[in-house]
Amino acid sequence: MPDRSSVGGPLRNAACLCFVTACMLATKAQATATVFLELPASPPIVGELFDVQIVANLPNAVLGWGLDFEIAMSDVAATTGVEIGGSWLSIATADGDGLGGVAFPDPVSDQHVVLATISLEALAEGTTELILSDNHLTDLTEGFALEPDGFESVEYVSSNLTVIPEPSVISLLAGLTFIAGVCRERRLRRQSI
């Protein structure tokens, strides 16, 4: 009886190599969606109203989505409104934040898809983290539902928001610093005489 361990050695090795390569390619094809924030080009000033966009790169066809947006330090900025992006119809969300949409009639798959625009008010000088997340295991209106079924794996990218003081306050501080410097210079001159 022939030894089966040596039968088809090169052919078996080639088949194993093809299988491993196919598995690696299939893994790469299952890309992850990335959701991130686009902040204003310049830092908002205390008292200013401004918008932040929630944007996604969606490699797979998404039927609907829902997520959470949190401002870590609520004394720095506050949400004043939410508008869902043009590719989506707004849906009621279980947590009431309005951050959910459904694609109709066709699912959405593209780069730089605007999910929503959040209107904010800068309340006080400081820096705070803006956090994106979802909890689709307990809140069925959150996550990224795929066509025909299942949920997309998602990488959420949080951002830091810095609110700066009003220009008049900066000018006042600069003026006071200048006056203090002039007074000090005069005092030093009097002491040297």
Q: Provide DSSP, 21-72.
A: HHHHHHHHHSPPEEEEEE--SSPPBTT-EEEEEEEEE-SS-EEEEE-EEEES
Indicate the helix (H) or strand (E) that contains 18. Answer: helix 9-29
Per residue in 69-90, pLDDT tens? 999 999 999 999 999 999 999 9
Nearest-angstrom CA–CA distance, 120 and 127: 14
Query: Is the pLDDT at 10 greater than 60, yes or no?
Result: no
Residues 146/152, Cβ–Cβ less than 8 Å? yes
Nearest-angstrom CA–CA distance, 61 and 55: 15
Task: Output the pLDDT for position 17.
Answer: 36
Instruction: Decide which of 5 and 21 is more confident.
Output: 5
> Is 10 a domain residue?
no
> Is 193 a domain residue?
no
Residue range(s) defining the domain that contains residue 138: 31-170
Confidence of residue 28 (pLDDT cuts 50, 70, 90): very low
Residue 191: what are its φ and ψ, rounded to 5°? -70, -30
Task: Output the pLDDT for position 30.
Answer: 61
CATH code: domain of residue 53: 2.60.40.680
Per residue in 153-187, pLDDT tens? 999 999 999 999 987 655 666 777 877 777 777 77
Task: Output the pLDDT for position 169.
Answer: 56
Nearest-angstrom CA–CA distance, 179 and 173: 10
> Is 16 a domain residue?
no
Residues 164/46, Cβ–Cβ less than 8 Å? yes
> Is 120 a domain residue?
yes
Of 149, 124, 15, the residue nearest 73 (C-alpha):
124
Instruction: Decide which of 9 and 40 is more confident.
Output: 40
For the chain, the domain total comes to 1
> Is 37 a domain residue?
yes
> Is 137 a domain residue?
yes
> Is 23 a domain residue?
no
Taking the complete model, does pTM exceed 0.85, yes or no?
no
**Strands (DSSP E) along the chain, which ranges?**
33-38, 49-57, 62-66, 68-71, 77-84, 89-90, 100-102, 113-122, 126-133, 143-146, 154-156, 159-163
